Amino acid sequence: MQLTDGKSVLHLFGGMSRFGLKLDIDRATRPHVIGDGWLPPFKRDSFDIVILDPPYTGINQQMKQSLIRGAAFVARERVYWFHTLWVGPDSGMRRERSWLFRVGDSCACRCLIEWRVLDGPKPIPRLHFTRGPALKYNRWLVGNIGLPFTAP
Protein backbone atom coordinates (compact mmCIF):
# COMPACT_ATOMS: atom_id res chain seq x y z
CA MET A 1 0.00 0.00 0.00
CA GLN A 2 2.91 2.36 0.68
CA LEU A 3 4.19 1.85 -2.87
CA THR A 4 0.88 3.08 -4.26
CA ASP A 5 0.13 5.90 -1.79
CA GLY A 6 -1.41 8.91 -3.52
CA LYS A 7 -1.89 7.02 -6.81
CA SER A 8 -5.00 5.74 -8.55
CA VAL A 9 -4.96 1.95 -8.21
CA LEU A 10 -6.89 -0.75 -10.08
CA HIS A 11 -6.96 -4.33 -8.81
CA LEU A 12 -7.77 -6.79 -11.59
CA PHE A 13 -9.20 -9.92 -9.91
CA GLY A 14 -9.30 -7.77 -6.79
CA GLY A 15 -12.68 -8.29 -5.15
CA MET A 16 -11.07 -9.04 -1.77
CA SER A 17 -8.54 -6.19 -1.86
CA ARG A 18 -8.54 -3.59 0.90
CA PHE A 19 -7.55 -0.55 -1.20
CA GLY A 20 -7.93 0.88 -4.68
CA LEU A 21 -10.66 0.25 -7.23
CA LYS A 22 -11.59 -3.43 -7.20
CA LEU A 23 -12.63 -5.25 -10.38
CA ASP A 24 -13.87 -8.81 -10.03
CA ILE A 25 -16.29 -11.08 -11.88
CA ASP A 26 -17.55 -12.58 -8.60
CA ARG A 27 -20.39 -10.44 -7.26
CA ALA A 28 -20.04 -12.10 -3.83
CA THR A 29 -16.73 -10.26 -3.29
CA ARG A 30 -18.59 -6.92 -3.61
CA PRO A 31 -16.15 -5.29 -6.06
CA HIS A 32 -16.51 -1.68 -7.19
CA VAL A 33 -16.71 -2.86 -10.82
CA ILE A 34 -18.14 -6.21 -11.85
CA GLY A 35 -16.00 -7.31 -14.76
CA ASP A 36 -13.41 -9.77 -15.92
CA GLY A 37 -9.71 -9.17 -15.28
CA TRP A 38 -8.92 -10.93 -18.57
CA LEU A 39 -10.75 -8.16 -20.45
CA PRO A 40 -10.34 -4.94 -18.44
CA PRO A 41 -13.13 -2.53 -19.46
CA PHE A 42 -11.03 0.64 -19.13
CA LYS A 43 -9.40 3.06 -21.55
CA ARG A 44 -5.68 3.45 -22.10
CA ASP A 45 -3.84 5.06 -19.14
CA SER A 46 -6.93 5.04 -16.90
CA PHE A 47 -4.98 4.32 -13.67
CA ASP A 48 -1.53 5.11 -12.29
CA ILE A 49 -1.09 1.57 -10.92
CA VAL A 50 -2.60 -1.77 -11.96
CA ILE A 51 -2.24 -4.78 -9.69
CA LEU A 52 -2.55 -8.25 -11.23
CA ASP A 53 -3.30 -11.06 -8.79
CA PRO A 54 -4.86 -13.67 -11.10
CA PRO A 55 -6.10 -17.07 -9.89
CA TYR A 56 -3.27 -19.44 -8.99
CA THR A 57 -3.85 -21.85 -11.83
CA GLY A 58 -1.67 -22.85 -14.74
CA ILE A 59 -1.21 -19.91 -17.09
CA ASN A 60 0.15 -20.49 -20.57
CA GLN A 61 2.08 -17.91 -22.61
CA GLN A 62 -0.97 -16.59 -24.44
CA MET A 63 -2.94 -16.17 -21.21
CA LYS A 64 -0.03 -14.43 -19.47
CA GLN A 65 0.51 -12.12 -22.41
CA SER A 66 -3.18 -11.23 -22.51
CA LEU A 67 -3.24 -10.36 -18.81
CA ILE A 68 -0.07 -8.29 -18.90
CA ARG A 69 -0.95 -6.45 -22.12
CA GLY A 70 -4.34 -5.52 -20.72
CA ALA A 71 -2.79 -4.27 -17.48
CA ALA A 72 -0.02 -2.35 -19.27
CA PHE A 73 -2.58 -0.71 -21.56
CA VAL A 74 -4.67 0.55 -18.62
CA ALA A 75 -1.68 1.61 -16.42
CA ARG A 76 0.11 4.95 -16.69
CA GLU A 77 3.06 4.24 -14.38
CA ARG A 78 3.36 0.75 -12.87
CA VAL A 79 2.01 -2.79 -13.04
CA TYR A 80 2.44 -5.20 -10.13
CA TRP A 81 2.21 -8.97 -10.69
CA PHE A 82 1.49 -11.22 -7.69
CA HIS A 83 1.35 -14.90 -8.57
CA THR A 84 3.06 -18.26 -8.17
CA LEU A 85 4.55 -17.92 -11.67
CA TRP A 86 7.62 -15.73 -12.30
CA VAL A 87 7.08 -14.01 -15.65
CA GLY A 88 8.64 -11.42 -17.95
CA PRO A 89 6.57 -8.44 -19.09
CA ASP A 90 7.06 -8.47 -22.91
CA SER A 91 4.49 -5.65 -23.13
CA GLY A 92 6.27 -2.30 -23.30
CA MET A 93 7.35 -2.41 -19.65
CA ARG A 94 10.61 -2.84 -17.76
CA ARG A 95 11.10 -4.75 -14.53
CA GLU A 96 12.03 -2.38 -11.72
CA ARG A 97 12.04 -4.64 -8.65
CA SER A 98 10.91 -8.10 -7.69
CA TRP A 99 10.44 -10.20 -4.59
CA LEU A 100 10.03 -13.93 -4.00
CA PHE A 101 8.02 -15.01 -0.93
CA ARG A 102 7.85 -18.34 0.82
CA VAL A 103 4.46 -18.41 2.55
CA GLY A 104 4.85 -21.75 4.35
CA ASP A 105 6.32 -25.21 4.15
CA SER A 106 5.55 -27.49 1.17
CA CYS A 107 3.82 -24.77 -0.82
CA ALA A 108 4.27 -22.72 -3.94
CA CYS A 109 6.22 -19.49 -3.57
CA ARG A 110 4.65 -16.15 -4.46
CA CYS A 111 6.27 -13.67 -6.84
CA LEU A 112 5.74 -9.93 -6.60
CA ILE A 113 7.13 -8.15 -9.65
CA GLU A 114 7.04 -4.40 -10.23
CA TRP A 115 7.17 -3.21 -13.83
CA ARG A 116 7.47 0.38 -15.00
CA VAL A 117 5.32 1.30 -17.98
CA LEU A 118 7.54 2.79 -20.67
CA ASP A 119 6.76 5.93 -22.65
CA GLY A 120 5.73 5.50 -26.24
CA PRO A 121 3.34 3.21 -28.04
CA LYS A 122 1.74 0.41 -26.06
CA PRO A 123 0.84 -3.03 -27.33
CA ILE A 124 -2.91 -3.25 -27.89
CA PRO A 125 -4.64 -5.76 -25.61
CA ARG A 126 -5.41 -9.06 -27.28
CA LEU A 127 -8.55 -8.90 -29.40
CA HIS A 128 -9.07 -12.66 -29.73
CA PHE A 129 -7.65 -15.92 -28.46
CA THR A 130 -6.35 -18.86 -30.50
CA ARG A 131 -6.07 -21.57 -27.82
CA GLY A 132 -6.70 -22.40 -24.19
CA PRO A 133 -9.67 -21.74 -21.91
CA ALA A 134 -9.91 -18.10 -23.00
CA LEU A 135 -11.35 -19.20 -26.36
CA LYS A 136 -14.76 -18.73 -24.76
CA TYR A 137 -14.12 -14.96 -24.79
CA ASN A 138 -13.84 -14.71 -28.59
CA ARG A 139 -17.58 -14.47 -29.08
CA TRP A 140 -17.82 -11.64 -26.52
CA LEU A 141 -14.92 -9.77 -28.09
CA VAL A 142 -16.45 -9.63 -31.57
CA GLY A 143 -20.03 -9.13 -30.46
CA ASN A 144 -23.03 -11.37 -30.82
CA ILE A 145 -22.43 -12.77 -34.28
CA GLY A 146 -22.97 -16.28 -35.54
CA LEU A 147 -20.27 -18.75 -36.40
CA PRO A 148 -19.04 -18.64 -40.03
CA PHE A 149 -20.80 -21.88 -40.94
CA THR A 150 -24.25 -20.89 -39.58
CA ALA A 151 -27.05 -19.65 -41.81
CA PRO A 152 -27.50 -15.85 -42.01
Domain boundaries, the chain: 2-142
Q: Strand order in 110-117's β-sheet?
A: 33-34, 21-24, 9-12, 47-52, 75-83, 110-117, 93-101
Amino acid at 44: R
Which of these, 86, 64, 74, lies nearest to 23 by C-alpha position? Answer: 74
Pick the CATH number of 2-142 from 3.40.50.300, 3.40.50.150, 3.30.420.40, 3.90.1150.10: 3.40.50.150
* 78-110 confidence digits (pLDDT tens): 999 998 888 887 778 999 999 998 888 888 888
Instruction: State residue 134's pLDDT score.
Output: 59
- C-alpha 143/C-alpha 152 separation (Å) is 15
**Pair 116, 78: CB distance under 8 Å:** yes
Instruction: State residue 128's pLDDT score.
Output: 62
Question: Is the pTM for the entire model greater than 0.85?
Answer: no
* 25-73 confidence digits (pLDDT tens): 888 989 999 888 888 889 999 999 999 988 877 777 778 888 899 999 9
Instruction: State residue 48's pLDDT score.
Output: 98
Instruction: State residue 79's pLDDT score.
Output: 95
Q: Among 3-17, 53-67, 131-145, which stretch is predicted with the lowest mean pLDDT?
A: 131-145
Instruction: State residue 118's pLDDT score.
Output: 92
Instruction: State residue 22's pLDDT score.
Output: 95
C-alpha neighbours within 13 Å on the C-beta side of residue 54: 22
Instruction: State residue 133's pLDDT score.
Output: 59
